[in-house]
Amino acid sequence: MRASSISTEDLPLQDEIDAVVTTALDQLKDVQLDALDDWRRSYLGRGGRLNALLRSIGSLPAAERPRAGQAANAARKKLGTALKQREAALSAEGEGDVEQIDVTIPGYRTNVGGLHPITRTLRDIARAFAPLGFRVVDTPEVEWDEYNFEKLNIPPDHPARDMWDTFFVKNEARPGAMLLRTHTSPAQIRVMEQIRPPVRVLAMGRCYRYEDVDATHESIFYQIEGLAIDSGITMSDLRGVLEYFARTMFGRDRKIRIRGSFFPFTEPSCEAEMSCHVCGGEGCRVCSGTGWIEILGAGMVHPDVLRGVGYDPDRYSGFAFGMGAERIAMLRYGIDDIRNFYRNDLRFLRQFN
Ligand code: FA5
């Protein structure tokens, strides 16, 4: 029996109306939100299939027209209701989608930068010296010959210039006088020219040398210069400070040795070496077979240098040291080739963050 309350006995068009309704409802099951309007137009719209049937009612005998009209309208109502239900069901599903967030899906990874191992090392060195009263100062990387050499007791033609050959900067006014500093020692002069004792400073930054690059030598590298001037400072203060530093940075187990050396601007002069981290002192490529790696040069500031900046060497004395930041980092992190620091290989650099 048909759902319609209209008697369908022998009703013309009824089969066509039923066929349209059946097809329409069948299709509607699969229609998605964005296609609902097309469906509505093709069955219920002005040029839709039900309207086409309604139009043909006019050709029926007059007595049959009302029943046929009612049947068509009932079909329209049925399809209209089905359309609303489908629409409601699809919207509810859509809302459901919005709430269905899978919180277990891994998020996008944000690239966060990190500190370069040499920056880390410089900061740690500054931190190690801070309790002893050393403050960090900044001095020029592009220097005059007089600060890099002459005021440090290295006159023109002094043989020490050979090991500190560097890159010169063109300067029309003073040809050959401007250069990229070969060490941070010019900072000693710059600081002493500015302040009176007591002095306790650390100057850190890039240095440049015409260098035969190998596992422990770069042509651009960082140094940390320490300078302490006061009345009554002796070589044993220097030794104490260096041992304190070595213990703070490397722990009690690492061995340090201090040997006599020569620098034109210190007297006496020395070098500090640390036991090699790669071979443990046996001798290898990194330590050139000696078992030791040189980390710094140091000494008592030469009386002529003190006099040059207007300090009275009978009243004041002090020590200075200059260490290589990369060498310290190599010893700390167990790195066997200095060139790794500046290859910009992220696989290497990411290990430190
Ligand atoms: C000097 O540069 C002196 N100015 C140090 C100094 C300061 C002595 C104050 C006395 C008083 P030297 O050339 O030895 O010295 O270098 C000092 C340290 O810098 C070395 O021990 C080493 O750790 C580092 N260094 C030197 N050359 C290089 C290089 N090419 N690559 C990387 N590190 C280097």
pLDDT digits over 96-113, tens only?
A: 555 677 888 888 888 888
Q: How far apart are CA 262 and CA 185, in angstroms?
A: 14
For residue 235, count other CB atoms closer than 10 A to its CB: 15
Quick one: tokens of 121?
A: 């090392």
- What pLDDT shows up at residue 10? 62
- CB contact at 8 A, 13 and 53: yes
- CB contact at 8 A, 143 and 179: yes
Burial call 274-296: b when 16+ CB within 10 Å, e when fewer: bbbbbbeeeebebbeeebbbbbb
Q: What confidence tier does 297 reach under pLDDT thresholds 50, 70, 90?
A: very high
More confident residue, 98 or 143: 143
Dump pLDDT digits (tens) for 166-212: 889 999 999 889 999 999 999 999 999 999 999 999 999 999 999 88
Determine which helix (DSSP H) or strand (DSSP E) holds 280, and give its type and residue range: none
**DSSP code per residue over 212-250:** --BTTB-SEEEEEEEEEEETT--HHHHHHHHHHHHHHHH
**The model's pTM:** 0.71
- CB contact at 8 A, 277 and 313: no
Q: Which atom of ligand 1 is nearest to the CA of 269?
A: 10
**Mean pLDDT, residues 89-101:** 70
Q: Which atom of ligand 1 is nearest to the CA of 211?
A: 30
Among 171, 231, 161, residue whose Cα is nearest residue 199: 231
The answer, yes or no, to whether residue 6 has pLDDT greater than 60, is no
Does residue 266 line the site of ligand 1, with CB under 6 A? Answer: yes
102 CA from centroid of ligand 1 (Å): 58
Does residue 302 line the site of ligand 1, with CB under 6 A? Answer: no
**Mean pLDDT, residues 299-307:** 98
Q: Provide the angle, in degrees to the nearest 10, between the axes of the packed helices 235-250 and 325-333.
A: 40
Does residue 273 line the site of ligand 1, with CB under 6 A? Answer: no
Q: How far apart are CA 33 and CA 19, in angstroms?
A: 24
- What pLDDT shows up at residue 183? 96
- What pLDDT shows up at residue 143? 97
DSSP reduced 3-state for 30? coil
Per-chain mean pLDDT for the chain: 89
Q: Which atom of ligand 1 is nearest to the CA of 183?
A: 2
